[in-house]
Amino acid sequence: MNRSSSNRALITGASAGIGKAFAEMFAKRGIDIVLVARRRERLEDLAAELRDRHGVDVIVWDGDLAKSETPELLFKALQDEGVTVDVLVNNAGFGVPGDLVDVEWNRHRNCLEVMTAAPVRLTHLFAPGMIERRKGSIINVASLSAVLPPHAGGTLYYPVKSFLLQFSLAMREELRPHGVKVSAVCPGFTETDFQLAAGGTVESVAFPKALWSKPEDVAEAAIQAVRANKPICIPGLVNKVIAVFFKLAPDAVGRWAVR
């Protein structure tokens, strides 16, 4: 099959939640897709659905982004097929609740690998093609946590998402002269398997369910933000209010509130 495409999006963490919603939103717009995650069966099911409903070309690539060699293997596999990527969505992620010392090192290592090293490496691999074609977009799925004061419990998650947000803002400056757009999306609580996978957190239990975002709304807001070339997208009014509160509140008040 000829895989050359005028417009293709690569989405990490596409087997569930926000990543799956991104795939649906891009496919709806007639954009071809590369789906990346570990659970191949889920990706195959989604690919079949998207081909059927929207007539787009979908490539499934199962890989573990906690392994440092995965981004390069993915890039080479696509290169060998002559596939170019116009939109990169760094979305794969998971929460790690608990104090740093109470969680086994391997989980922290995976967290750093999937949510910091992999997005940076994928950007390093795919951005040169975008620069050459003077066309492309990168969406980094950070979190509202990135703009809140860090706190004990889930200790690593806040700093990791802050890193991704800062990286996104820096890449935006670097790629701007080349016609490549970069946006970070900072969702608040969103109805996905995320909290389940994280084993539930105190904050997620306390936050009223009616105020949670839908993954489709998060993906749609992020796509619109990158199209409008906005640096940061905070989907949902409640999350925007929370972000403004923590921006304006004195440090001590912010730390107390988040605690």
Catalytic positions: 157
Residue 201 binds ligand NAP (CB under 6 A): no
- Which residue among 10, 19, 158, 222 contacts ligand NAP (CB under 6 A)? 19
Cα angle 180-181-187, degrees, rounded to a multiple of 5: 150
154 in contact with ligand NAP (CB under 6 A): no
5 near ligand NAP (CB under 6 A): no
Question: Using the rule CB under 6 A, is 190 a contact of ligand NAP?
Answer: yes
Quote the CA–CA distance of 3 and 62 in Å, as a whole number.
Answer: 18
3-state secondary structure 12-69: ECCCCHHHHHHHHHHHHCCCEEEEEECCHHHHHHHHHHHHHHHCCCEEEEECCCCCCC
- Least distance (Å) between residue 158 CB and ligand NAP: 11
Residue 138 interacting with ligand NAP (CB under 6 A): no
Cα–Cα distance for residue pair 35/43, rounded to 1 Å: 7
Judged by CB, which is closer to ligand NAP: 178, or 212? 212
> Is residue 16 close enough to count as binding ligand NAP by CB under 6 A?
yes
CA gap 43, 186 in Å, rounded: 24
Stretch that binds ligand NAP, among 44-52, 53-61, 89-97, 171-179 (CB under 6 A): 89-97
DSSP code of residue 213: B
Asked if residues 242 and 142 have their Cβ atoms less than 8 Å apart, the reply is no
d(CA 36, CA 251): 39
Q: Based on the shown chain and the rule CB under 6 A, indicate whether residue 93 belongs to the binding site for ligand NAP.
A: yes
Contact between 156 and ligand NAP by CB under 6 A: the answer reads no
The residue ranges that bind ligand NAP (CB under 6 A) are: 12-19, 37-39, 64-66, 91-94, 114, 141, 143, 187, 189-190, 192-194, 197
